[in-house]
C-alpha cells in the first residue's frame, strides 16, 4: 500500500521535472538525472505531508494559469524546488541520526533498493512520454554523504558520552535523543509519530514544510490559501486571521525571527537547548545568527518583500497587502523605497535579545540556572594572556552592557553589535529605559559569578516586556536608503571592545555585507572602493573572519569546516578587522559630506 502511494507521488513529482519557472532563480536547477540520483529529493517527494506542497510549489504557474490570468505572483510556486535540492533543513535529522554500523548498512541497503525502484518507475513513466534519460548519469557509485557520513558518527559519540556507550541503541536511550536533539534536528514535538527507535524510517529526514508554516493542528489554511478565490479571500487577510486558520505568520519579521531563533539560539520550554554538557560531548558551537544572511544561504525559497513589491506590480491589492502586513513602514501607498533587509537586521537583533532573555527566564524558572551555555563561550574559552584586550576593556567606557567586574562569565556578546544600533533606531523615548534595564541586568551578572537566578529573571522579564514594545515600534518605522546608510556607518564604528569575540566580529561583518548588498540591489550603490573594502571584510586572510558558512545541503560542518572554524576562533584578535572598519568608516563619512 505504502509503496503504491509512494509510486503515485513519485510520478506526480517526476512529471514536474522540466521546471521552466527557474528564470527568476540565479542558481541553476538540477538536471533530471541529478534529481533521479538524489536520495534526499527522492525521499521528500514521496513524503506524505509534503506532497501537497510539491504539487503546487514546484514548477511555477502553468501556462493555463498564466494565460487565464488567474495567477497572482504572491508565491512564485517554485519554492519546493529550491528547498528540495539545496536546503540543509531537509536533512537536519538524517545527518545526526546516531546509526550503529548495522543500522547504517541496513539503511543503505534499503536506500538503494528504494531508489532503484523509484528510478525504474520514473524512467518507465518518462519513456511513455518519450523523454530520453541519460542512463550513465543516473544513480550513485558512492554513498551520498548527505545520507550517511562522519556527522552521524559524531552524533553517536555525543550520545555515548551523554547517556552511556551504546545506550542510544535502546528505546529508552533513543527517546532521550528524540526529546533533547530531535526537537531541533527533526522538528519533533511531544506526541509526534515516527520519532521512536522502532519507527525510524526515511520518511522524516529533517524539518518539513509544516513545521515552519503551520501553527497547531488546524489545517484550514491549506485549502484557504490555495483555493481559486485565494486572491480575494486570503491574501488580504490580516496575519491574525491567517494564524487563526492555522498558518504561521512568517511574513512578520519578528515572528519569523523567533521561529528561526528557537533552534538557532534556543528555546528551553520547547526543549531546544544545547546544554554545556552537549557541547562538551562534541556538539559544534552554535554560530551567531544574522537572520537575512542565513536566509540567503538556505537559500531563501520565498520572495523578499522588495521582490514581492515588484512581482505584484500588476496586482491592484498590492498596497493594501503591504499595509495590512507592514503597517507604518510606508506613510504613502508606495513601499518601493523600503530597505527591508536592513529593517529585518534591526528587528532580528531585538528579537534575538528577547530570545536570550527568554532563555534566562525559562532557565531560572525551571531551576536549571547557570548552565554554562547560557554565557558567552569566549568568556571562558580563550587563551590566558597578560595585558590582553579582555583586561584592558575594564578601563574603557561604553554605555551598552559594559563589564564592570573582571572575571565574571559574561552574557553572550554577539547580539550587542547590532543591538546598539537597533536600540537607537527604536527611538529616544525608549532608549533611556532600555539602557537602564540593560545596565541593571549586566550588573546582576557582575554582582556574582553566573548571576543570581531570581534577580536575573525579574530584570529579564522587565526588559523583555519593554523590548516587545520596542520591536513593535521598530517594525512600524519606515526604513529608507538614508537609514540603511546610517546603519552602515553605525556598524563601521563598532568599538574594538565589542569585537573581542569571533562571533561578535563576524556578526558585524555579516551585517555590513548584508546592508551593502541591499544598497546595491536597490540601486543605491556605494562607490567601488567602499564596496571593495566591504567585500574583503569576510576574507579570513585579511581580517581573520570567514563570512562564508558551510550552508546548503552539499556542505558539511563536521569535521573539516568545524576544525578550521575553531582554529579561526582561537586565533582571532580584532585589530585587523578594526583597521578595515576604520577605513570603511572614513569612506562612508566622506561620502555624506558635501
Per CB under 8 A, contacts with other proteins among 466-525 are none
If binding is defined by CB under 8 A, does position 162 make contact with other proteins? yes
Q: At what angle do helices 171-180 and 150-163 cross, to 10 degrees?
A: 110
The residue range among 137-145, 171-179, 523-531, 537-545 that interacts with other proteins, by the rule CB under 8 A, is 137-145
Are the CB atoms for 452 and 303 separated by under 8 Å? no
Please list every residue from 398 through 437 that binds other proteins, using CB under 8 A.
404-408
If binding is defined by CB under 8 A, does position 367 make contact with other proteins? no
Contacts of 23 (CB under 8 A, 6+ apart): none
Please list every residue from 291 through 320 that binds other proteins, using CB under 8 A.
314
Are the CB atoms for 418 and 427 separated by under 8 Å? no
The residue range among 152-160, 339-347, 480-488, 548-556 that interacts with other proteins, by the rule CB under 8 A, is 152-160
User: ∠ at Cα 177 (176, 178), nearest 5°?
Assistant: 90
The residue range among 6-14, 64-72, 203-211, 516-524 that interacts with other proteins, by the rule CB under 8 A, is 64-72
Taking the complex as a whole, the smallest distance from the CB of residue 192 to other proteins amounts, in Å, to 28
If binding is defined by CB under 8 A, does position 381 make contact with other proteins? yes
**Judged by CB under 8 A, which of 271, 299, 389, 450 binds other proteins?**
450
- Please give the torsion angle defined by the CA atoms of residues 10, 11, 12 and 18, in that order, rounded to the nearest 10 degrees: 100
The residue range among 67-75, 210-218, 226-234, 321-329 that interacts with other proteins, by the rule CB under 8 A, is 67-75
**Judged by CB under 8 A, which of 384, 397, 523, 528 binds other proteins?**
384
What is the tally of helices (H) and strands (E) in the chain?
31, 0
Residue 184: strand, helix, or coil? helix
Nearest to 283 by CA among 180, 200, 362, 213: 180
Nearer to other proteins, 101 or 541 (CB): 101
Nearer to other proteins, 30 or 403 (CB): 403
Nearer to other proteins, 164 or 427 (CB): 164
If binding is defined by CB under 8 A, does position 570 make contact with other proteins? yes
Please list every residue from 204 through 263 that binds other proteins, using CB under 8 A.
none
d(CA 170, CA 159): 12
Residue 592, φ and ψ in degrees, nearest 5:
-90, -15
Nearer to other proteins, 375 or 423 (CB): 375
If binding is defined by CB under 8 A, does position 568 make contact with other proteins? no
The residue range among 330-338, 350-358, 385-393, 579-587 that interacts with other proteins, by the rule CB under 8 A, is 385-393
**Judged by CB under 8 A, which of 387, 429, 541, 593 binds other proteins?**
387
Q: Which three cell numbers stand for residue 155?
A: 552524533
The residue range among 196-204, 262-270, 383-391, 481-489 that interacts with other proteins, by the rule CB under 8 A, is 383-391
Please list every residue from 272 through 291 that binds other proteins, using CB under 8 A.
275-277, 279-281, 285
The residue range among 79-87, 286-294, 390-398, 535-543 that interacts with other proteins, by the rule CB under 8 A, is 390-398
Please list every residue from 322 through 361 that binds other proteins, using CB under 8 A.
none
The residue range among 76-84, 147-155, 186-194, 505-513 that interacts with other proteins, by the rule CB under 8 A, is 147-155
Taking the complex as a whole, the smallest distance from the CB of residue 590 to other proteins amounts, in Å, to 37
Nearer to other proteins, 109 or 320 (CB): 109
d(CA 245, CA 215): 9
Other Cβ atoms closer than 10 A to 101: 9
Size of the site for other proteins (CB under 8 A): 79
> Is the bond leading into 559 cis (omega within 30 degrees of zero)?
yes
443 burial via Cβ count (<10 Å: 0-12, 13-18, 19+) = middle
Convert 205-229 into a string of H (helix), E (strand) and C (coil): CCCCHHHHHECCCCCHHHHHHHCCC
Taking the complex as a whole, the smallest distance from the CB of residue 43 to other proteins amounts, in Å, to 17
Nearer to other proteins, 218 or 404 (CB): 404
Q: Which three cell numbers stand for residue 363?
A: 532557565
**Judged by CB under 8 A, which of 26, 63, 171, 240 binds other proteins?**
63
Taking the complex as a whole, the smallest distance from the CB of residue 231 to other proteins amounts, in Å, to 13
Contacts of 364 (CB under 8 A, 6+ apart): 453, 454, 456, 457, 460
d(CA 580, CA 509): 11
What would the DSSP string read from start to end of 305-340?
A: HHHHHHHGGG-TTHHHHHHHHSTTS-SSS--TT--H
Q: At what angle do helices 416-425 and 428-447 cross, to 10 degrees?
A: 150
Taking the complex as a whole, the smallest distance from the CB of residue 386 to other proteins amounts, in Å, to 6
**Judged by CB under 8 A, which of 28, 386, 432, 593 binds other proteins?**
386
If binding is defined by CB under 8 A, does position 440 make contact with other proteins? no
Taking the complex as a whole, the smallest distance from the CB of residue 187 to other proteins amounts, in Å, to 26
**Judged by CB under 8 A, which of 4, 26, 28, 130 binds other proteins?**
130
Taking the complex as a whole, the smallest distance from the CB of residue 63 to other proteins amounts, in Å, to 7
The residue range among 320-328, 363-371, 542-550, 573-581 that interacts with other proteins, by the rule CB under 8 A, is 363-371
Nearer to other proteins, 83 or 445 (CB): 445
What would the DSSP string read from start to end of 500-558?
A: -SHHHHHHHHHHHHHHHHHHHHTT-PPPHHHHHHHHHHT-HHHHS-------STT---T
The residue range among 9-17, 142-150, 432-440, 508-516 that interacts with other proteins, by the rule CB under 8 A, is 142-150
Other Cβ atoms closer than 10 A to 104: 18
d(CA 587, CA 166): 59
**Judged by CB under 8 A, which of 24, 62, 116, 233 binds other proteins?**
116
Q: Which three cell numbers stand for residue 402?
A: 559594559
If binding is defined by CB under 8 A, does position 15 make contact with other proteins? no
User: How far from 571 is each of 104, 378, 501, 562, CA to CA, in Å?
Assistant: 37, 12, 10, 14
Amino acid at each position: 500500500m505504502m509503496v503504491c502511494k509512494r509510486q503515485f507521488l513519485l510520478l506526480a513529482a517526476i512529471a514536474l521535472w522540466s521546471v521552466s519557472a527557474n528564470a527568476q532563480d540565479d542558481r541553476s536547477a538540477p538536471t533530471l538525472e541529478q534529481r533521479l540520483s538524489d536520495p534526499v529529493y527522492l525521499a521528500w517527494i514521496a513524503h506524505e505531508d509534503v506532497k501537497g506542497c510539491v504539487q503546487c510549489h514546484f514548477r511555477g504557474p502553468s501556462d493555463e494559469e498564466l494565460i487565464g490570468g488567474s495567477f497572482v505572483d504572491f508565491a512564485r510556486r517554485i519554492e519546493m524546488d529550491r528547498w528540495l535540492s539545496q536546503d540543509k533543513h531537509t536533512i537536519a535529522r538524517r545527518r545526526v541520526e546516531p546509526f550503529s554500523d548495522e543500522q547504517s548498512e541496513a539503511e543503505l541497503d534499503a536506500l538503494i533498493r528504494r531508489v532503484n525502484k523509484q528510478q525504474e518507475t520514473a524512467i518507465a513513466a518518462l519513456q511513455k512520454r518519450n523523454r530520453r534519460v541519460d542512463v550513465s548519469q543516473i544513480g550513485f557509485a558512492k554513498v551520498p554523504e548527505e545520507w550517511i557520513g562522519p556527522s552521524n558518527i559524531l552524533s553517536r559519540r555525543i550520545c555515548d558520552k551523554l547517556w552511556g556507550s551504546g545506550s542510544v541503541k535502546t528505546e529508552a536511550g533513543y527517546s532521550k535523543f528524540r526529546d533533547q536533539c530531535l526537537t531541533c534536528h527533526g522538528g519533533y514535538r511531544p506526541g509526534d509519530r515516527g520519532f521512536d527507535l522502532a519507527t525510524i524510517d526515511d520518511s522524516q529526514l529533517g524539518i518539513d514544510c509544516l513545521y515552519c508554516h503551520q501553527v497547531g493542528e488546524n489545517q484550514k489554511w491549506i485549502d484557504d490559501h490555495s483555493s481559486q478565490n485565494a486572491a480575494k479571500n486570503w491574501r488580504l487577510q490580516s496575519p491574525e486571521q491567517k494564524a487563526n486558520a492555522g498558518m504561521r505568520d512568517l511574513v512578520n519579521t519578528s515572528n519569523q525571527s523567533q521561529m528561526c531563533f528557537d533552534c538557532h539560539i534556543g528555546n528551553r520550554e520547547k526543549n531546544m537547548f544545547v546544554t554545556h554538557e552537549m557541547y562538551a560531548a562534541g556538539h559544534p558551537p552554535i554560530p551567531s545568527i544574522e537572520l537575512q544572511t542565513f536566509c540567503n544561504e538556505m537559500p531563501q525559497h520565498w520572495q523578499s518583500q522588495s521582490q514581492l513589491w515588484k512581482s505584484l506590480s500588476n496586482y491592484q491589492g498590492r498596497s493594501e497587502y503591504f499595509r495590512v502586513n507592514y503597517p507604518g513602514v510606508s506613510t504613502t501607498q508606495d513601499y518601493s523605497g523600503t530597505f527591508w533587509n536592513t529593517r529585518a537586521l534591526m528587528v532580528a537583533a531585538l528579537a534575538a535579545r528577547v530570545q536570550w532573555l527568554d532563555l534566562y527566564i525559562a532557565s531560572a524558572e525551571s531551576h536549571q540556572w547557570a548552565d554554562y551555555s547560557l554565557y558567552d563561550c569566549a568568556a571562558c574559552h580563550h587563551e590566558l594572556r597578560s595585558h590582553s584586550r579582555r583586561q584592558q576593556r575594564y578601563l574603557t567606557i561604553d554605555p551598552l552592557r559594559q563589564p564592570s567586574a573582571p572575571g565574571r562569565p559574561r552574557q553572550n556578546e554577539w547580539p550587542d553589535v547590532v543591538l546598539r544600533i537597533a536600540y537607537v533606531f527604536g527611538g529616544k523615548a525608549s532608549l533611556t529605559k532600555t539602557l537602564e534595564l540593560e545596565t541593571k541586568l549586566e550588573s546582576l551578572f557582575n554582582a556574582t559569578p553566573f548571576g543570581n537566578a531570581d534577580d536575573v529573571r525579574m530584570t529579564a522579564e522587565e526588559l523583555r516586556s519593554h523590548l516587545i514594545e520596542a520591536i513593535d515600534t521598530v517594525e512600524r518605522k519606515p526604513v529608507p536608503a538614508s537609514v540603511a546608510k546610517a546603519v552602515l556607518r553605525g556598524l563601521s564604528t563598532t568599538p574594538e571592545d565589542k569585537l573581542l569575540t569571533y562571533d561578535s566580529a563576524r556578526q558585524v561583518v555579516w551585517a555590513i555585507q548584508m546592508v551593502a548588498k541591499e544598497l546595491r540591489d536597490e540601486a543605491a550603490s556605494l562607490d567601488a572602493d567602499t564596496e571593495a573594502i566591504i567585500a574583503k571584510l569576510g576574507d579570513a586572510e585579511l581580517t581573520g573572519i570567514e563570512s562564508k558558512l558551510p550552508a546548503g545541503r552539499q556542505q558539511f560542518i563536521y569535521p573539516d569546516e568545524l576544525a578550521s572554524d575553531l582554529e579561526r576562533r582561537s586565533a582571532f584578535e580584532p585589530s585587523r578587522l578594526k583597521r578595515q572598519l576604520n577605513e570603511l568608516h572614513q569612506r562612508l563619512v566622506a561620502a555624506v559630506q558635501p
